[in-house]
Amino acid sequence: MKNCLILTGGTLDLDFAGDFCRKNKFDLTIAVDGGLAAAKALGILPDVVVGDLDTADESLVEEFRQYPFIRWDVHPPEKDETDTELALRRAIAGGAGKISILGATGGRFDHMLANVFLLYGCLQKGVEACILDRQNRIFLIEDHYTFHKDQLWGKYVSFLPLLGEIRGITLEGFKYPLQDYDLEAASSRCISNELTEESGTIRFREGIAICVEARE
């Protein structure tokens, strides 16, 4: 399965993005509309460009069209999906088993929130997907997950329900442990936990958890 990078048109810290891209190897890179500007700034030639191109600079579009190997998946501005959703579909259709999304936070809150929910479609298809920025790594958990202190994005680990409640949460190896706890959608009980052991585990019976690993 391929490791895929998606560059969206949201707010992106180029220093962070450049460092992240240098440390990771990707088999497939997709630029989403305004994400072409990020690709240009990072010196990346995407394999695919997806979107309606309504926020992409025309001169950049002309520049990238000169590369014959770049595939263009252009859609009309008035459509039922966001460009990021279309990019995720394209990545999965292209054989992606792991997807890292940069530029999906910051900017418009409606798009940022939608991007978190779009991770659910990846989870349903067995694709490991996450949203990353300098401070946060956001991904979804079903049933259970083991954290390792030396692999955390930052010291804080938070959990929020994606759909309704998360029933029967047990946390082991954390500063604030839980045993068979039901986390309601309107609760902040599971914000800003920390590992106290070299590894920690979350288990639950029902629901989907949004996990945010965060640093200052």
DSSP 18-69: HHHHHH---SEEEEETTHHHHHHHHT---SEEEE--SSS-HHHHHHHTT-TT
pLDDT tens digits for range 41-70: 999 999 999 988 777 788 888 899 999 999
What percentage of the chain has pLDDT greater than the value 90? 84
- Arithmetic mean of pLDDT over the chain: 94
Name the band, by pLDDT with cuts 50, 70 and 90, for residue 33. Answer: confident
pLDDT confidence band for 37 (50 / 70 / 90): very high
Query: What are the structure tokens assigned to 4, written together?
Result: 């895929």
Give me the mean pLDDT over the 95-111 stretch: 93
Confidence of residue 207 (pLDDT cuts 50, 70, 90): very high
CATH 3.40.50.10240 segments of the chain: 2-134, 139-214
pLDDT digits (tens, 9 = 90+) for 117-174: 999 999 999 999 999 999 999 999 999 999 999 999 999 999 999 998 999 999 999 9
pTM equals 0.94
pLDDT given for residue 79 in this prediction: 84
- 2-134 carries CATH number 3.40.50.11890: no
Instruction: Give the right CATH number for 139-214 from 3.30.2320.80, 3.90.79.10, 3.30.750.24, 3.40.50.10240.
Output: 3.40.50.10240
d(CA 188, CA 79): 35
